Amino acid sequence: MQNRFRHIQWNNGSEVSQRLAAPDALWTVHPMPSGLEAEVVRIAFADIHYAMKIWNKSSKPDAQYQYDLLSELRHQGLSVSQPFGSGIDGMDHPVLLTSFDGEAVKKVNPEMIAEIAKLLSQIHNIQMGERSFFRKYDFIPYFYPGIDQFPDLHDRLQSIVTDSRLKQERLIHGDFNLGNIVEKDGRYTVIDWTNGQLGDHRYDLAWAHFLLKVYTSERIASQFLSAYTSDIPLDLGEYQAFEAMACLRWIFLNRTAELPKRSNTVKRVKNIIKQNAYLQGVGV
């Protein structure tokens, strides 16, 4: 497996990437939990660890943009991983090498969820500076690719997006969830910036809030929303449309990729549908 990483063509050389390429370097590779888009491994040089993401599935993002994005966000004081290199491996898969910042958060309490909510509000309050640096994409094709295969979801989504007056004005993470928050020595770090872009912070919040409702509890989700809105006020009347978009994204992904589910997950999704005026009649 080491040979696989010795022949990466690096766009951004660093001492770490040079060590990886050295034929006499001693390091080990350890698999990490991976998502739908990429493989993630931990690389260990003695007691110093790094994380490497390899997009060896269908998604082929611009790893150089993610390197630059992480560099800019660290410069602005956000708690994100330090980038050490981006490039292409021997099979033309984009790769990104960063610091290893701990293990994913699995259980939360009110204090932890408030701190995590503050991380999201800090992202949404980032100074744009040169706005051209942050990329912007068409909302529906980007977050719901292929949804036109499901007319019931596609037609409803288009109607909601039109009503919502979507604004792509702030930096968003695009997939803010507990799996993308890691902890080490009491410090939380936001990882996986594949979907980082200019977008609507209300959608970014709604996706994070929805996942907490479905996979943790209503109480934890409510505490998260309360902590966030203490920093960035929210019109709850407008917010229902964004919650509906988040729910439709989950339903769409579940139809195409079979998302993780516990015994009560579908029931919770159905309860959200029942309580949201934009989702009446939508089937899971």
What are the residues whose beta carbons fall under 8 Å from the beta carbon of 44, sequence distance 6 or more? 27, 28, 29, 30, 50
Homologous superfamily (CATH) for 103-279: Aminoglycoside phosphotransferase (APH), C-terminal lobe (3.90.1200.10)
C-alpha torsion sign, points 152, 214, 53, 140: positive
- Per-residue pLDDT band at 283 (split at 50, 70, 90): very high
pLDDT in tens, 135-160: 999 999 999 999 999 999 999 999 99
Mean pLDDT, to the nearest integer, of 8-26? Answer: 81
pLDDT in tens, 209-227: 999 999 999 999 999 999 9
For residue 131, is pLDDT > 60? no
Average pLDDT of the chain is 92
For residue 113, is pLDDT > 80? yes
Q: Which residue has the tokens 């909302």?
A: 139
For residue 98, is pLDDT > 90? yes
Q: In the chain, what percentage of residues exceed pLDDT 90? A: 77
What are the residues whose beta carbons fall under 8 Å from the beta carbon of 129, sequence distance 6 or more? 72
- Per-residue pLDDT band at 6 (split at 50, 70, 90): confident
pLDDT in tens, 18-72: 888 777 778 888 998 877 788 999 999 878 999 999 999 888 899 999 999 999 9
Mean pLDDT, to the nearest integer, of 234-247? Answer: 95
Across the beta sheet with 9-10, the strand order is: 9-10, 83-88, 94-99, 48-54, 39-45, 28-31
Report the topology of domain 2-99. Phosphorylase Kinase; domain 1 (3.30.200)
Q: In the chain, what percentage of residues exceed pLDDT 70? A: 98
pLDDT in tens, 170-219: 999 999 999 999 999 999 999 999 999 999 999 999 999 999 999 999 99
At residue 2, the pLDDT reads: 57
The CA distances from residue 211 to 49, 130, 175, 230, 265, in Å, are: 30, 32, 10, 20, 10
- Which residues belong to CATH 3.30.200.20 in the chain? 2-99
- Which residues belong to CATH 3.90.1200.10 in the chain? 103-279
Q: Output 117 or 16, whichever has higher pLDDT.
A: 117
Mean pLDDT, to the nearest integer, of 262-283? Answer: 97
Rg (CA), the chain: 19
